[in-house]
Amino acid sequence: MSELKKVLYIEDEPDIRAVAEIALQQIGGLVLKCCASGPEGLESISDFDPQLILLDVMMPGMDGPTVLAHIRENTDYQHIPVVFITAKVQAAEVEDLMKLGAFAVISKPFSPMEIAGQLRDIWKDFCRA
């Protein structure tokens, strides 16, 4: 089983990107690339070659579900697990996101001390599945 190292995070909120960088990279020891929008994130996939994509749901222009649909349409990216990270945390909302094809959903607010561990656990589950 490979170890999770590279994560692409697509998030439009600059402050959340800033704290996530510290949480995932500095504290969590992951190699992280942050993108501020869906199109920017999609463009980064081929160059950055992430193992896992962490994806915000509500973004202007192209929202998270649309980004996920683009990822799933592309045969080169289909294998990458997508984890939604969202402040939409009601059970029905989480269920809807899972139905769209997300591998997992992490709720906001997240714990900066734990989020890297959460992603590693999700990665392990993905590798086992």
Name the residues that contact other proteins, by CB under 8 A. Answer: 12-16, 18-20, 22-23, 26-27, 58-61, 86-90, 93, 108-113
CB of 64 within 8 A of CB of 19?
Answer: no
Smallest gap from residue 82 Cβ to other proteins (A): 19
Q: Tell me whether residue 109 or residue 129 sits nearer to other proteins (CB atom).
A: 109
DSSP conformation letters of 96-129: HHHHTT-SEEEESSPPTTTHHHHHHHHHHHHHH-
Q: Tell me whether residue 31 or residue 93 sits nearer to other proteins (CB atom).
A: 93
Smallest gap from residue 1 Cβ to other proteins (A): 28
What's the CA angle centered on 76, arms 73 and 81, to 5 degrees? 75
